[in-house]
């Protein structure tokens, strides 16, 4: 009798213990970011990881960055073979080795292997006589990145692949960012990943307060191209930075313009305010939810001089409730407006 009671009591305690200590397993979300310093500065990938995990604590976000300073998707795809990292779960060692050898061949000449393609890309952006030799240092870095992949390939299967624009959005259809981001997007989709188009809009970022939108032509062009790519590629999300900044710069009817600035005076890069807006745009675009109410409220510059940001300010900016709520709301509204402007959505 005593044994039966002991067994029953043990079973009862075990049944009680399981729900008390059981935790819902975290959902894994793997994100690969391809870009340049507009992804590296303030660690945009890390900010996106933070805000997504706050929005859904059951999700464990893992980010990886493939970054070449000042470079765009044309060079990422054509000369640095960044698609290797998109394809890493299925790419063979022989294929990686072949790409390393191809890049070593690129270094033997100051002339691009396909001069017509090189010239056509730059012509679509209104540029001529761009030196191929100027990217040799980046090719060397890409070789080292591939050698590292060859030694230790984590075989990650990506959920999202982020493709960053940078001064390469052309008025000409199917050129520049539109052309090469589309090539990389098709590779990502073939690997089972969804694509995120990160439109950085450097030409619209004001360094001083404005009374009206700054460089509207650029903002509208980038928005049109982003919508066209959304229709063609059906990505997971488009991050409409140009539209969001334009709306903030427009201001209200009773108070046009904005006192907010989105780039440094002493550095041609986005500042902490722009990075905070971008992170909230990522959240709204990926989740379909407004970031309003999230506690995420700080951004830290990661390229310092004497412990200060490029303008001599403190590296970390903490956004107070009013400014935080405003930027969260403008991010949400820009995503909604962008998506409404795409036919069929």
**Mean pLDDT of all residues in 215-241:** 97
User: Is the distance from CB of 166 to CB of 58 less than 8 angstroms?
Assistant: no
* Domain-embedded: residue 293: yes
How does the average pLDDT of the chain come out, rounded? 93
* Domain-embedded: residue 22: no
For the question of whether the overall pTM of this predicted structure is more than 0.85, the answer is yes
What total number of domains does the chain contain?
1
In this predicted structure, the answer to whether residue 6 has a pLDDT above a threshold of 50 is no
**Containing structural domain, residue 231:** 35-340
In this predicted structure, the answer to whether residue 1 has a pLDDT above a threshold of 50 is no
Q: What is the pLDDT of residue 26?
A: 81
Q: First and final CA of the chain: distance in angstroms?
A: 69
Q: Give the pairing type, strands 59-67 and 27-35.
A: parallel
In this predicted structure, the answer to whether residue 108 has a pLDDT above a threshold of 60 is yes
Which bin fits 99, alpha (ψ -120 to 50), beta or left (φ > 0)?
Answer: alpha
Q: What percent of the chain has pLDDT over 90?
A: 91
Q: What is the pLDDT of residue 341?
A: 87
* Domain-embedded: residue 47: yes
* Domain-embedded: residue 5: no
* Domain-embedded: residue 7: no
Confidence of residue 202 (pLDDT cuts 50, 70, 90): very high
Q: How far apart are CA 253 and CA 81, in angstroms?
A: 48
Q: What is the pLDDT of residue 241?
A: 98
Q: How far apart are CA 193 and CA 124, in angstroms?
A: 29
Token output for 240: 């409409």
**Mean pLDDT of all residues in 104-113:** 97
* Domain-embedded: residue 2: no
| The Cα angle at residue 312 between residues 309 and 315, in degrees rounded to 5 | 35
* Domain-embedded: residue 322: yes
Q: 32-41 pLDDT, tens per residue?
A: 999 999 999 9
Q: 138-175 pLDDT, tens per residue?
A: 999 999 999 999 999 999 999 999 999 999 999 999 99
Q: What percent of the chain has pLDDT over 70?
A: 92
Domain harbouring 179, CATH code: 3.40.50
In this predicted structure, the answer to whether residue 9 has a pLDDT above a threshold of 60 is no
**Mean pLDDT of all residues in 244-261:** 96
Distances from the Cα of 151 to the Cαs of 61, 102, 144, in angstroms?
24, 18, 11
Q: 77-100 pLDDT, tens per residue?
A: 999 999 999 999 999 999 999 999
Q: 281-328 pLDDT, tens per residue?
A: 999 999 999 999 999 999 999 999 999 999 999 999 999 999 999 999
User: Is the distance from CB of 193 to CB of 64 less than 8 angstroms?
Assistant: no
Neighbours of 272 (CB within 10 A): 23
* Domain-embedded: residue 345: no
């Amino acid at each position: 009798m005593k044994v039966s009671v002991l067994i029953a009591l043990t079973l009862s305690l075990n049944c009680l213990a399981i729900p008390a200590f059981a935790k819902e397993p975290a959902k894994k979300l793997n994100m690969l970011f391809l870009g340049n310093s507009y992804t590296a500065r303030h660690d945009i990938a890390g900010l996106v990881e933070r805000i997504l995990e706050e929005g859904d604590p059951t999700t464990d976000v893992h980010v990886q960055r493939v970054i070449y300073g000042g470079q765009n998707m044309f060079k990422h795809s054509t000369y640095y073979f960044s698609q290797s990292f998109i394809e890493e779960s299925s790419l063979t060692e022989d294929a990686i080795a072949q790409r390393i050898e191809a890049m070593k061949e690129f270094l033997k000449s100051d002339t691009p292997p396909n001069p017509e393609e090189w010239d056509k890309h730059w012509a679509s952006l209104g540029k001529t006589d761009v030196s191929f030799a100027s990217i040799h240092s980046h090719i060397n870095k890409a070789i080292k990145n591939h050698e590292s992949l060859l030694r230790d390939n984590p075989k990650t299967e990506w959920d999202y692949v982020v493709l960053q624009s940078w001064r390469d959005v052309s008025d000409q259809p199917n050129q520049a960012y539109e052309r090469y981001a589309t090539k990389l997007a098709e590779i990502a989709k073939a690997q089972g990943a969804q694509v995120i188009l990160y439109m950085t809009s450097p030409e619209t970022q004001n360094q001083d307060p404005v009374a009206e939108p700054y460089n509207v032509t650029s903002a509208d062009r980038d928005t049109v191209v982003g919508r066209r790519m959304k229709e063609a590629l059906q990505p997971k999300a488009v991050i409409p930075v140009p539209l969001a900044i334009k709306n903030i710069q427009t201001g209200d009817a009773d108070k046009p313009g904005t006192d907010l600035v989105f780039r440094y005076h002493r550095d041609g890069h986005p500042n902490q305010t722009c990075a905070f807006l971008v992170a909230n745009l990522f959240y709204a675009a990926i989740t379909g939810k407004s970031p309003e109410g999230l506690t995420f409220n700080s951004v830290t510059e990661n390229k310092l001089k004497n412990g200060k940001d490029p303008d001599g300010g403190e590296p970390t900016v903490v956004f107070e409730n009013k400014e935080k709520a405003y930027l969260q709301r403008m991010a949400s509204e820009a995503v909604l407006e962008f998506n409404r402007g795409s036919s069929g959505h």
